[in-house]
Amino acid sequence: MAELEAQGLRKSYRGVAAVEDFSYRFADSRITAIVGPSGSGKTTTLWMIAGLIPPDAGTVRLAGRDLASVLPERRGMGMVFQNYALFPHLSVRENVEFGLRVRRLPRAERRRRAEETMAMVRLLPLAERSVQRLSGGEQQRVALARALAFRPSVLLLDEPLSALDAKLREELRGELFALLHTLGITTIYVTHDQVEAMSLGQQLIVLNGGRIEQAGPPLEVYRRPANPFVARFLGAANILPAECVESDGRRRIALSFATLDAPAHAEPGACWVMIRPEDMTLADNGALGSHAALGSHAADTAGHFHARLESAVFLGHQLRLHLRTGAEKIYLDTPNDAKLDGSAPLAVRVKCEKISVWPRGSGQPDC
């Protein structure tokens, strides 16, 4: 297959760096999602790979061949644009056939391949329709079919779902997932939506300020974010100052209000602890024992603490509780049918195996 690799890609506009030192070997025949906030350089990166933006430095290689001197029209990369960029004067079929027409394929072959591709994305009934008379979701499918019809070696998707409303987006996400997985084509999927990135990408690249913050399988990046930015970008996270201490041969994380079992990657010293809101549960008050026991840091109380309920936000599938313990504010997600008594302190248990720890320098974790 076609191995795609970017090395040291850099681009700046009027002295402001949009992408800096982007180096990555894309997994063959798999989907790599590039996710980042707006302005993080993800679209610029994609356009440089497509050859539509010349990089200031760095190379793109496809199957070992340097593409620097290869025009975008000779790269054979299918691309779906954010606004779809469908040719407004052509019908659905003519749009899908475009890549085959420029390759001067015989008419019959062109037609056969276009129909094959349109069938794949359920466009056949709309084949003769003008693309100006299609809904957003239909346009998205035309854009995808057009990019796939000429059998590209690489598929580039630039925020293909961002122009659609939430419900349609979720529907198409599932469809796209099924399709891309069966195609088995090297795919780069650019999005600012972390859910989209994690659900569609088999590999994940988190981009921020033009730099790669972290890359890896989505679950790994979510569970073990390399830094507070990645932690917060992929989901809600409580990030708290703590101390990693060693006693009786065991490492523990001492928070101002609780003690946690340290994960294997924690090094002794000042640190930041990340606890995701879904990695805590409300415990039965009786099982926790007295406050005295809580203060003794005994092994059986690791991960337990008491907190006062400040407010609860209904998120639909969950309740997000805003808790306060001492000076710290903590978010905790709980099933939406939880019975809450705001008058007494709530007993909370942290799933210690799920926490993440970073050594703490002088800086704040806010980014």
Partner 1 sequence: MPSPRRLLDGVFVYGVTGGLALVVGLPVAVVVLGSCLDTSWLGLSSEQWVGGGKALLDLRWFRYVSELYGANMLFSLRLALLSVGVCLAAGVPGAYVLARRPFRGSRVLEEVVLLPLALPGIGMSVALIQAWSAARGQWWLILGGHLLYTLPFMVRAVAGTLRSGDISHLEAAARTLGAGAWQRAVWVILPSLRHAMIVGALLVFAISWGEFNVSFLLNTPLHQTYPAALYATYTSNSFKVSSAATVLFLAVVVPVLVAIQLVGGGDRVEQGA
What are the residues binding partner 1 (CB under 8 A)? 47, 50-52, 71-79, 81, 83, 85-89, 98-99, 101-103, 132, 146-147, 150, 156
Report the alpha-carbon distance of residue 244 to residue 44 in Å, rounded: 41
Q: Which is nearer to partner 1, 141 or 276 (CB)?
A: 141
CB 157 within 8 A of CB 1: no
We find the least distance from the C-beta atom of residue 122 to partner 1, in angstroms, to be: 21
Q: Which is nearer to partner 1, 85 or 338 (CB)?
A: 85
Q: Which is nearer to partner 1, 73 or 220 (CB)?
A: 73
Q: Which is nearer to partner 1, 155 or 206 (CB)?
A: 155
CB 37 within 8 A of CB 83: no
We find the least distance from the C-beta atom of residue 95 to partner 1, in angstroms, to be: 9
Report the alpha-carbon distance of residue 172 to residue 187 in Å, rounded: 17
Q: Which is nearer to partner 1, 103 or 107 (CB)?
A: 103
Q: What are phi and psi of 85, to 5 degrees?
A: 50, 45
We find the least distance from the C-beta atom of residue 90 to partner 1, in angstroms, to be: 8
Token pair of 331, please?
């978010």
Residue 343 to residues 208, 287, 309, 350, 356: CA-CA distances in angstroms?
A: 42, 19, 8, 22, 31
CA angle 222, 225, 227 (to 5 degrees): 150
Report the alpha-carbon distance of residue 49 to residue 232 in Å, rounded: 28
Residue for token pair 């504010």: 329
We find the least distance from the C-beta atom of residue 101 to partner 1, in angstroms, to be: 8
We find the least distance from the C-beta atom of residue 86 to partner 1, in angstroms, to be: 8
Q: Which is nearer to partner 1, 78 or 201 (CB)?
A: 78
We find the least distance from the C-beta atom of residue 30 to partner 1, in angstroms, to be: 21
